[in-house]
Structure 1
Amino acid sequence: MAMQKRSMFSILTLMVSFIMASCSGGGDGSIVEVKAGSPQEVESISKTTSLLQIDTVASLVNWIGNKPGGSHTGTLKLQSGYLEYADQQLVGGRIVFNMSSIANTDISDSESRIRLETHLKSPDFFNTVRFATSDLVITKVNFSDSNKSGECIVSGNLTIKGITKGIVFSSRVEVSGGQVTAHVGPISINRTDWGVNYGSKSIFDNLKDKFIDDNIEITVVLKTVK
């Protein structure tokens, strides 16, 4: 049954397949730029697998968007997800992001904050009416040691606004008290790779200092249900 789910989710190929990225570094808090590539095939797993459901309340997604003279910070909620294990080792998974939950955390004035959040949900940015979710499908996991936890390189497919790209990034996996915690970031992705082009000076040449940086900084903490 788990194998059938893997095949089905590979068609969806979620968040930027972790390929050919600048995956080294980041452990000191520096931002690692993740390059988008072609979607990847989900690695075949011959062993029996188990699915650990993601705790969508305890898990955290934080983002930063930059522009000349300032930046905005915010959060994004998870809708659902699971991590797939074989022989007590992370081998795959799928994370679904609720794009309608995108929220700003740095603007104190409620009217201005709602205006920004509404704009982010509009067709200019993530078009959440048409694309209510984004998702990441993990296609392969390589651990740096034999402990089946700790630092690892994750490959996967990221889908935003119906566009699927392959990405590669580093993660740190911890197991404690029957709960798995996976840390990702800070990393950055180029939003224009997924068709989020508003205010991009790499797309529009008449913006002068009115542009918004192409790269979005992301930090993720995933926790499974105990």
Structure 2
Amino acid sequence: MKNLKSIALALVVVLSTLSVTAQTIKVDATKSLINWTGKKVTGQHEGTINLKDGALVFKGKKLVGGTFNVDMNSIVVTDLKAGQGKEKLEGHLKADDFFGTEKFATATLVFKKIVTKAPNFYTVTGDLTIKGITTPITFDLATTKNSAVTTFKVDRTKYDIKYGSGSFFDNLGDKAISDNFDLAVVMKF
């Protein structure tokens, strides 16, 4: 009996020293969704943008990494219909005043630091690159067996997107556009 306890204790020690290898789980871009909201003094506009590809990295059940690429040319306005300014706004968002998608077709996010707040709930700090400019951003992320969900704000002026910003231009009146835009992201895997 004493030998059996010693063997069991040794087995527990050996198993606890084995490291769990990281598992990379690719995100299904076709089932994932990124909704955006941009606000201005006189209202707001909403739309979607497509995830190109991405992956989350887990060690056991714990999130330890992630990388994502967004197709900036896929930006769509959903609160306007054709002929009501939809095409004009989409074109302007793709122009150099905003995201400059001809030159900067992809935005990226790379997780740099992940803090567990609760099981399957994390605070993530990552490097977000838009228009070739990389800036750290922090947000909360919840995971399930087959999805990850987050919402966060992005200060567009940190990426040299200053069009209509009251922080940079005076006398804009009701033409002022908020420096922040909101993202609501659901990634499926």
TM-score class, shorter-chain normalisation, is 0.7 to 0.9
Cα displacement (A) at 1:67: 1.0
Q: Deviations over 1:76-119 (max 9, x none)?
A: 10111111111232100101000000000000234621111011
Look up the SS of the partner of 2:177 in the other structure: coil
Aligned residues between the structures: 171
User: What's the counterpart of residue 154 of structure 1?
Assistant: 124
Matched to 1:196, the amino acid is I
Unaligned runs of 5+ in 2: 1-18
Offset of residue 50 of structure 1: 2.0
**Pair 47,195 (structure 1): closer, same or farther in 2 beyond 3 Å:** farther
| AA aligned opposite 2:177 | I
Please provide the CA RMSD for this pair: 1.5
Look at both structures and tell me which one has the larger radius of gyration over its CA atoms.
Answer: 2
* TM-aligned CA distance change 1:110 to 1:79, over 3 Å: farther
The whole-number CA distance in structure 1 between the counterparts of 2:70 and 2:184 is: 14
The reply on whether 1:80 has 2:50 as its aligned counterpart is no
- Secondary structure of the 2:54 match is strand
Separation in structure 1 between the aligned mates of residue 100 and residue 117 of structure 2, nearest angstrom: 38
Give the structure 2 partner of residue 144 of structure 1: 117
Output one character per residue of 1:96-150: Cα deviation in whole Å (capped at 9) or x when no partner: 00000000000023462111101100001000000000010011222223x4x2x
TM-score, reference length from structure 2 = 0.85
* Greater RCO structure (CA 8 Å; 6+ sep): 1
String of CA shifts for 1:9-43, please: whole Å, max 9, x gaps.
Answer: xxxxxxxxxxxxxxxxxxxxxxxxxxxxxxxxxxx
Please say if residues 142 and 150 of structure 2, whose CA atoms lie closer than 8 Å, have aligned partners that are also in contact.
Answer: yes
Distance 1:211 1:158 in 2: 25
- The aligned counterpart of 2:133 is 163
* TM-aligned CA deviation for residue 68 of structure 1: 1.6
SS in 1 for 2:97: coil
**1:54 corresponds to 2:27:** yes
Q: Which 5+ residue runs of structure 1 have no aligned equivalent?
A: 1-45
Alpha-carbon displacement from aligned partner over 1:37-83 (angstroms, at most 9, x marks no partner) = xxxxxxxxx86322111100111100111112211000010111111
Tell me the equivalent position of 1:221: 186
- Is the strand fraction higher in 1 or 2? 2
Identity %: 41
Q: How does 1:32-71 map to 2 (within 5 A)?
A: 48-71=21-44
Q: Separation in 2 of the partners of 1:80 and 1:144?
A: 26
* TM-score (normalised: structure 1): 0.72
Deviation at 1:204, TM superposition (A): 1.0
Q: 1:116 aligns with which of 89, 92, 96?
A: 89
| C-alpha displacement of 1:209 | 2.2
Q: Does 1:173 align with 2:139?
A: no
